Amino acid sequence: MTQLRIGAGIAARIEETYEPNFNAAKFFPDWDPAVLQQHGGWLLPDHYDPASGRLKLSVHSWLLSVGGKRILIDACVGNHKPRAGRPMWDQLQTPWLERLAAAGARPEQVDMVMCTHLHVDHVGWNTRLENGRWVPTFPNARYVFSTQDYEHYLAIDRDAEKGPANMGSFRDSVLPVVEAGLAQMVSGAATLDEHLAVDPAPGHTPGTIAIKFESNGERALFCGDILHHALQVYHPQWNSFACAEAAEARNSRRKVLEHCAAGALLMPAHFGRPFACRIESKGGGFVPRFV
């Protein structure tokens, strides 16, 4: 298990899946096969699968433990969820909860759940199936959602033509948390406690938030899908097919890279092994330094 110390905090990676999944050229409309020669030294085998032409994107959560509190950042796809629109995520059955327990957190011990945004692969474990109903997996947690994302997807979900939003995940993994009174909506820049703060970082979704952590002078930034793949450190203008607002997504990505180049550890939701990196400014651009 990947565990990183950040000041007095420990971030443990809780894996759901890690295998070649999205076709690179479809995932990145700006994909240029020349990157395979240019970056082959680190891309293979942990970040790209040459046999299939697919990116190797991890799907994981981070469990952040600090001062006796346990904070879960992003909630993957979840088990038993019907996702007919994306077969690789349909009716998953992974030992994610067991991995979370092995990292030191039973569901009732989680104090806070934070979703960087409300896409299907970031909200799944918010709920689990119990007697045929979706119930909050973490009964003692407050769940931090962005108001902008919530309102955006609520409107889509209620629209008879556009709904259900995000492959049904809004209904089975977000609404039950809100109905249980466990959601804390944040709007704009917000400080959550002595260690955690969020900044609006719109683009990938209208309400994406960057989650900033600080302890004993050390800093980290959990970026969700502001960056999906380490190649975007070299190519911050590359959006994924799933980015809603192109110009804003590029702007938010560049801001995150600048923030991390000034000293914060980048904690992505989907980068391949070793799953986190430092960012160095170089020649007007950025370079990942894997930790």
> What is the contact surface with Zn ion in residues (CB under 5 A)?
121, 225
- Burial of 214 from C-beta contacts in 10 A (0-12 / 13-18 / 19+): middle
Minimum distance from CB of 173 to Zn ion (Å)? 13
Task: State in angstroms the smallest separation of the CB of 41 from Zn ion.
Answer: 26
CA distance linking residue 267 with residue 160, whole number of Å: 37
Q: Where are the beta strands (DSSP E) in 86-139?
A: 112-114, 127-130, 133-136
195 vs 200 by CB, closer to Zn ion: 200
Q: Which residues contact 236 (CB under 8 A, 6 or more apart)?
A: 250, 253, 254, 257, 285, 286
Residue closer to Zn ion (CB basis): 121 or 172: 121
Q: How far is the CB of 8 from Zn ion (least distance, A)?
A: 28
Q: In this complex, which beta carbon is closest to Zn ion, that of residue 66 or of residue 89?
A: 89
Q: Which two tokens stand for residue 24?
A: 């690179």
Q: What is the DSSP letter of 31?
A: -
Q: In this complex, which beta carbon is closest to Zn ion, that of residue 60 or of residue 128?
A: 60
Cβ 98 to Zn ion shortest distance, Å: 22
- Closest by Cα among 37, 13, 16, 34 to 25: 34
Closest approach of Cβ 228 to Zn ion, in Å? 7
CB of 183 to Zn ion, least distance (A): 20
Integer Cα distance of 212 and 208 in angstroms:
13
Q: Which is nearer to Zn ion, 99 or 228 (CB)?
A: 228
CB 103 within 8 A of CB 97: no
State the Cα angle at 60 between 54 and 62, rounded to 5°: 145
Is 157 or 225 the residue whose CB approaches Zn ion more closely?
Answer: 225
Question: Phi and psi dihedrals of 148, rounded to 5?
Answer: -65, -45
